[in-house]
Amino acid sequence: MKDELRAIRAVAFDLDGTLVDSAPDIQRALNSSLRREGRPRFDLDRVRGWIGDGPDALIARALEAQGCSGDDVALRARLRRWFDAATLAAPLAGGTVYPGIAELLAALSRHLPLVAVTNKPTPLARAVLDAAGLLPYLQAVHGADEPALRKPAPAMVLAACARLAVEPHELLMVGDAEPDMRSAHAAGCRAVLVGWGYGHATLPAWLDPLRITAPHELRAALCAAEPIPNA
């Protein structure tokens, strides 16, 4: 894999399911918002399957599962406000950083600029990353603050390239799900699919990213590829 990464000058990481197992906190925030509206709650496995497209899509899926029309804009807006408030109040109360991630970011950040590219809105993403102790390793956090920015659209990946002054082929996108891989493909970036997280099992066959099963594999590959010295 190291030969395929020799041109890489920066790395973008997805957040939920890639850096942090945040499903328990997302479930808690969703259920807290639903409870405030007198609506039924969902178990962790159900919520985990909805993660990846940001809180608005998560809320829409929850309402659809309850047989509620998506036309109630006021309800969705209220749920989103409650969701954001619950997330900011306890960004990482139940979630955990995946094993080896902190070590990976610490090693890579000594040689490469790192950013987060996530469908979480930026304020929520920064809160989670700060609570996880990962924010100091990142030069920027690109969150989907508008629907048009959400992966699989390439906009945030291209914005990261512009911010870091690298060409798309010099940026590596690391994620756990199809939207990450599609976003990288659309932007013209190389991509790595991680073997943990929430969405790697459903990747379509036509997408063919590099694959890793543990963070140390990416560290070894990037730190062995020129021009990065060994960490």
| pLDDT-based confidence at residue 205 (cuts at 50, 70, 90) | confident
Percent of the chain with pLDDT over 70: 96
Structure confidence by residue, pLDDT tens digits, 32-87: 999 999 999 999 999 999 999 999 999 999 999 999 876 789 999 999 999 999 99
Q: Are 6 and 226 in contact (CB under 8 A)?
A: yes
What would you measure as the largest C-alpha separation in the chain, in angstroms? 56
223 near 203, Cβ under 8 Å? Answer: no
Q: Which residues contact 43 (CB under 8 A, 6 or more apart)?
A: 27
Q: Taking all residues of the chain, what is their mean pLDDT, rounded to a whole number?
A: 94
**Backbone torsions φ then ψ of 199, nearest 5 degrees:** -130, 5
Q: Among all chains, which residue has been given the structure tokens 């599609």? A: 182
- Tokens 């590829």 correspond to 225
| pLDDT, position 71 | 76
**Res 200 pLDDT > 80:** no
Per-residue pLDDT tens digits for 78-129: 999 999 999 999 999 999 999 999 999 999 999 999 999 999 999 999 999 9
Q: What is the pLDDT of residue 231?
A: 43
- Rounded to an integer, the average pLDDT of 1-16 is 91
The one catalytic residue among 3, 14, 56, 72: 14
Average pLDDT over residues 5-28: 97
Q: How distant, in Å, are the alpha carbons of 93, 121, 157, 173, 175 from that of 152?
A: 28, 15, 10, 12, 12
What residues contact 34, with CB distance under 8 A and at least 6 apart?
Answer: 40, 41, 42, 62, 79
**Which helix (DSSP H) or strand (DSSP E) does residue 187 occupy?**
helix 178-187
pLDDT at 70: 66
Q: Exposed/middle/buried for 111, CB within 10 Å: 0-12, 13-18, 19+?
A: middle
Give the residue-averaged pLDDT of 135-148.
Answer: 97
Amino acid type, 30: L
Residue 169 makes CB contacts below 8 A (sequence gap 6+) with: 7, 188, 189, 190
- In terms of C-beta density within 10 A (0-12 exposed, 13-18 middle, 19 or more buried), how is residue 229 classed? exposed
Q: Is 53 a known active-site residue?
A: no
